[in-house]
Structure 1
Amino acid sequence: MSSTTPSFLVIGGGIGGLAAALALAHDGHTVRVLERAPEFTEVGAGLQIGPNASRVLERLGVLDAVTATAFFPNRLTLRDAMTGERLVSLKTEDAFQNRFGHRYFVAHRADLHHALLTACRESGLVELLPGKEVVRVEPQRPGAVVHCADGTVHSSGALVAADGLHSRVRRLLVGDAEPVDSGYVAHRGTVPIEALAGTGGLREPDSMVIWVGPGMHLVQYPVRRGKLCNQVAAFDTRRYTQHAGDHGAQLRAAFAAACHDVQAGIALMDSSRRWPMLDRPPVTGWSRDGITLVGDAAHPMLQYLAQGACQAIEDSVALADRVAAHPGDPQTAFDEFEAIRAPRTARVQTAARAWGEVLHIDGMGARLRDAFVAGRAEDDYGVMDWLYGFDAADTHGAGPQAAGSARSEPAPDTTPHTPREIPA
């Protein structure tokens, strides 16, 4: 058993875990973070950050560090992957910033992670322990005793689990089935901007572009101040079962009918690694007896709204604010945290699924989609108010823009699963 007991124990040293630890440390709490990897690093490439997350990063004091190497696109553009035609664009410059308080930016995941990690270290209140693979969690009401593979044991009256999509702690609290496989996979990676531009495959170098087609899409945007281009190619594997044993052939087949710009990007993709696109339906019951979940452990979502990391970042200050409202009572704080966050994250989870269907629709559905967005003004931000105007520090669960949008848009079905009781 560790000789000292921190106020809070966090499992998982990714973006969600570090953001939660930093938010708690800002209020003077001691935090111990257990990370299974031998060092604190972040796997992945590009990351999109909306204003809803930027205002949290600003409060945590890391926004400047993250944006130092970020790229600020002028537009978010939707294009037809088959014809190359621009379908709709949203400007993300001055008018966008005036409405939401921050610009939309894209960054490398490692840069965001490094900024959070540095701030945690400099706080003097966050103990960072790598190489701590959690093998058993014993609820002690409140909090838990956590056993690691190296034989160490850690205890706290308040446990925050940021252990991702396959969370061990989630199985104790919620007890739901395995994540839902959408059938889609994503290939991700960065390429030098010159390499892509040299192929003629960089139509809008100052924009974040989503190329959409039947059962597939390609996202492209610059990172690292425009020196690299991050690409995400996603497609429905169920359409290409004849290539199931060859990831490269399956990727090429999925985009074989795409326009030149898309094919140029696909030709530069690394086909050796890919990630299945998984999520879970919204549930409740992920806070109990001084234990709570944050990020993907609580509300994993498909990537179509680029909100996975953003929602984990929102979680951090919402959690810290509830702890501050109930000093010495993490059980009540965590219960209120879930009550505030569950409706918000459920809405984002549900909207992400719906947006994926819109992106990948075929035939007459695609024609109707294109007709619906055609002619939309580039500064028509109303459709995004609920997402980007949200203030995670608002205990009512919405900022002024989000609240207005919520009145005009139906809430998603958030019928909870029946949670499992924590075993004695």
Structure 2
Amino acid sequence: MTSGRKQSQPVLIAGGGIGGFAAALALSRAGIKVHLFERASEIKEIGAGIQIGPNAFHVFERLGLTEAVRAKAAMPQRLVMMDGISGEQVVSIPLDDQFLHRFTHPYALIHRADLHRILLEACLGSDLIEVSTGVKVNDFTDHDDGVTVQTTEGDVQGRALIGADGLWSTVRSQIVGDGTPRVSGHIAYRAVLPISEVPEELRSNTMTLWAGAKTHLVHYPLRGGELFNLVAVFHSDRYVEGWDAEGDAEELQSRFRDAVPTVKALLSKIETWRMWVLCDRDPVRTWSKGNVTLLGDAAHPMLQYMAQGACMAMEDAVVLADEMAHANGDAADAFQRYQERRYLRTGKVQMSARLYGEFYHASGVTRELRNQFLQSRTVDQTLDGIAWLYDAAPVQPRQTQTAGNAVVSDSSSSQLHC
């Protein structure tokens, strides 16, 4: 049994991104007090569009956010992969009744800021959640009966600490201690256009990926078709670090010099791009220690090629809250159980994302074999290959959780993500 004093203390969360607020909300739904610290003075999400698969909607359902998300999201009619060199269609996955029957929930496209705002507003509406902005978590000390967190505003006592502080996590440095992130050599340029600036023939309600040699372009509508999201990715050893910096338009054009005219036409519509150097880390089995654990990118940062970074963080949140609710106040035990339920699934997504990056950027004979393989598959075969990812089982309540949720499956079927 734990002391009443420990039970009355809040769970502390470092980081006010999508994962941090999802964790705060999930814990509050379980009746657990939370104090979240965000280092920025203003709560806002940087970025553009993100894709959310059916697995994310299983989380929204549990958090009571489904309708709010649907109101802001765009629902594409299909996922399409085109060869960015030849212009031929490689694969098209309809997101119709067949998809919905298989996975229950839709595939959606949403502005990252909109999803972040939905989570933030839900948290601000809870009496169990306190949010402090302009406060950075610098360090922590784990005690048997709780944690002391050292922040820029002084020491704070808590029942436990969740590090949801992203790729460069301060909390991770003490728990895992694996140094700096792995630089992939891939650069992402992102931009959002008003739909009126996009040529009419390119305004289709699809999530489209143009795969080139060491490059690809993804585009899709946002906010019910009001906006048009573009993500251009290419290989480069020019950068080892960069986040939300202004991109070099000349380099971008040079990298896509062999692309089909459609791709070049879209790229030419953007005058200013924001650039990210893509990084990840190797999967680890242990990201919890005592009364401290990690969540989202702090635990399992991944490249964007599976479009699952935010989805995995939100899955973490509901699983973690489940384990806390069943732990009778023993955060250390809850964190170990949470970690056991998550590390294989998230590790599989991390490694799959690396493979998909090479798959999309194939050249020469490898590119031809990729196209031939994908063009030969039926829709059913493609859906079979992604069932492991979109299934509801990983976030079902603890009492109905079945063993082995990190199912090994046919991961060779393409998912068309940025």
TM-score (norm 1): 0.89
Q: In the superposition, relative to structure 1, how do residues 398 and 225 fare at CA in structure 2: closer, same or farther (>3 Å)?
A: farther
Where 2:125 maps in the other structure, the secondary structure is helix
What are the equivalent positions in structure 2 for 1:307-326 lying under 5 Å apart? 307-326=308-327
Task: Give runs of aligned pairs for residues 200-239 of structure 1, distance below 5 A.
Answer: 200=201, 202=202, 205-238=204-237
Mapping 1:165-314, distance limit 5 Å: 165-198=167-200, 200=201, 202=202, 205-238=204-237, 247-314=248-315
Q: Secondary structure at the match of 1:164?
A: coil
Shift of 1:147: 1.9
Equivalent in 105, 110, 119 of residue 107 of structure 1: 110
Q: Which contiguous aligned blocks of 4+ residues in structure 1 show a shift greater than 4 angstroms?
A: 395-400, 407-411
Which of 137, 140, 148 in structure 1 is aligned with 2:151? 148
What is the match of residue 162 of structure 1? 164
Give how far 1:205 is off: 0.9
| Deviations, residues 42-97 of structure 1 (Å, cap 9, x unaligned) | 11110100011111011101121121021000111100111221100111121111
Paired letter, 2:91:
V
Q: CA deviation at 1:141?
A: 3.6
Shift of 1:246: 7.9
Give the aligned partner of residue 375 of structure 2.
374
Distance across 2 between alignment mates of 1:63 and 1:189: 27
> 1:35 Cα shift?
0.4
- Matched residue SS, 2:394: coil
User: Alpha-carbon deviation of 1:285?
Assistant: 2.0
Note the 1:65-80 alignment, pairs <5 A. 65-80=68-83
Query: Is the Cα contact below 8 Å between 1:187 and 1:269 reproduced in 2?
Result: no
Q: Which letter maps to 2:338? A: F
1:79–1:85 CA contact under 8 A, matched in 2:
yes
Greater shift in the superposed pair: 179-188 or 132-141: 132-141
Partner of 1:358: 359
Q: Give the distance between the partners of 1:247 and 1:371, measured in 2 at CA.
A: 34
Offset at residue 138 of structure 1 (A): 2.4
Quick one: structure 1 residues 48 and 73, their matched pair in 2 at CA, closer, same or farther if it must change by over 3 Å?
Answer: same
Q: Distance in 2 between matches of 1:211 and 1:240?
A: 23
Q: Is the 8 A contact 2:283 2:300 kept in 1?
A: yes
What's the offset of the Cα at 1:240? 11
C-alpha separation between the residues in 1 aligned to 2:239 and 2:12? 45
Q: CA deviation at 1:406?
A: 2.6
Which sections of structure 2, spanning at least 5 residues, go unmatched?
1-6, 241-245, 413-418
Return the alpha-carbon distance in structure 2 between the equivalents of residues 104 and 396 of structure 1.
27
How many residue pairs get aligned? The number is 399
Aligned partner of residue 225 in structure 1, secondary structure = helix
Identity %: 42
Contact 1:143 1:291 in 2 (8 A): no
2:10–2:158 contact (8 Å) kept in structure 1: yes
**Does the C-alpha gap of structure 1 residues 398 and 248 become closer, same or farther in structure 2, counting only changes over 3 Å?**
farther
- How far off is 1:389 after superposition? 1.3
Residue 193 of structure 2: SS of its match in structure 1? Answer: strand
Matching residue of 1:49: 52
Q: For 1:107 and 1:336, locate their aligned partners in 2 and report how far apart those are by CA, in whole Å.
A: 32
Change (3 A) 1:303 1:410: closer
Aligned alpha-carbon RMSD (Å) = 2.4
Aligned to 1:136: 139
CA contact (8 A) 1:12 1:35 kept: yes
Q: Provide the secondary structure at the position in 2 that maps to 1:392.
A: helix
Distance in 2 (CA, whole Å) between partners of 1:142 and 1:184 is 44
SS at match of 1:191: strand
8 Å CA contact 1:340, 1:397 repeated in 2: no
Contact 2:188 2:276 in 1 (8 A): yes
CA–CA separation in structure 2 for the residues paired with 1:71 and 1:93: 14
Partner SS for 1:235: strand
Name the CA distance, whole Å, in 2 between partners of 1:275 and 1:398. Answer: 37
Q: In structure 2, what is the Cα distance between the partners aligned to 1:34 and 1:264? A: 43
CA gap of 1:276–1:147, structure 2 versus 1, over 3 A, is same
Q: Secondary structure at the match of 2:141?
A: strand
Q: Could you tell me which residue of structure 1 aligns to residue 87 of structure 2?
A: 84
**Aligned AA (1:53):** A
Partner of 1:327: 328
Question: Which of 32, 45, 53 pairs up with 1:29?
Answer: 32
Query: What CA distance in whole angstroms lies between the structure 2 residues aligned with 1:261 and 1:190?
Result: 17
Change (3 A) 1:273 1:410: closer
Distance 1:246 1:37 in 2: 23
- Provide Cα deviations, 1:273-306, integer angstroms capped at 9, x if missing partner: 3000100010122111110000000000000000
Q: CA 1:157–1:246 in 2, change beyond 3 Å: closer, same or farther? A: closer
Residue 258 (structure 1) shift: 0.7
User: Matched residue of 2:157: which SS?
Assistant: strand
Match of 1:58 in 2: 61
Q: Which amino acid aligns with 1:227?
A: E
Instruction: Find the residue that maps to 1:316 and give its secondary structure.
Output: helix
Residue 183 of structure 1, CA deviation: 0.5
Deviates more, 1:156-165 or 1:378-387: 378-387
Give the AA of the match of 1:34: F
Whether the 8 Å CA contact 1:296–1:312 is kept in 2: the answer is yes
TM-score in terms of structure 2 length: 0.90
The answer to whether the 8 A contact 1:184-1:235 is kept is: yes
CA distance in 1, matches of 2:146, 2:233: 40
Q: 1:387 to 1:398 in 2, by over 3 A?
A: farther
